[in-house]
Amino acid sequence: MRSLRAAGWDVVGVARRADRLESLAAETGASAFAADLTQQADVDALAEWLAASGPVHALVTVAGGAHGTDLVEDGRTEDWRWMFEINVMATQRVVAALLPLLREAADVEDRAQAHADLVFLTSTAAQRAYPGGAGYNAAKAGQSMIVDALRLELAGEPIRVVEVAPGMVYTEEFTLNRLRGDQAAAEQVYEGVEQPLLAADVADVIAYALGTPGHVNLDLITMRPVAQSAQHLLTRGPLRVRR
Q: If residue 143 lies in a helix (H) or strand (E), which one and from where to where?
A: helix 134-153
Q: Which amino acid is at 219?
A: D
3-state helix, strand, coil in the chain (%, to 5): 45, 15, 35
What gap in Å lies between CA 118 and CA 185, rounded to an integer? 35
| Largest separation between any pair of C-alpha atoms in the chain | 62
Given 136, 170, 190, 208, the catalytic residue: 136
What gap in Å lies between CA 14 and CA 225, rounded to an integer? 27
DSSP codes, 168-216:
-EE-SSHHHHHTTT-HHHHHHHHTTBSS-EEHHHHHHHHHHHHHS-TT-
Contacts of 109 (CB under 8 A, 6+ apart): none
Would you give the end-to-end CA distance of the chain in angstroms? 43
What gap in Å lies between CA 137 and CA 132, rounded to an integer? 9
The C-alpha angle with vertex 23 and arms to 18 and 29, in degrees rounded to 5, equals 115
136 among known catalytic residues: yes
CB 78 within 8 A of CB 188: no
List phi, psi (to 5°) of 90: -65, -40
Active-site residues: which are they? 136
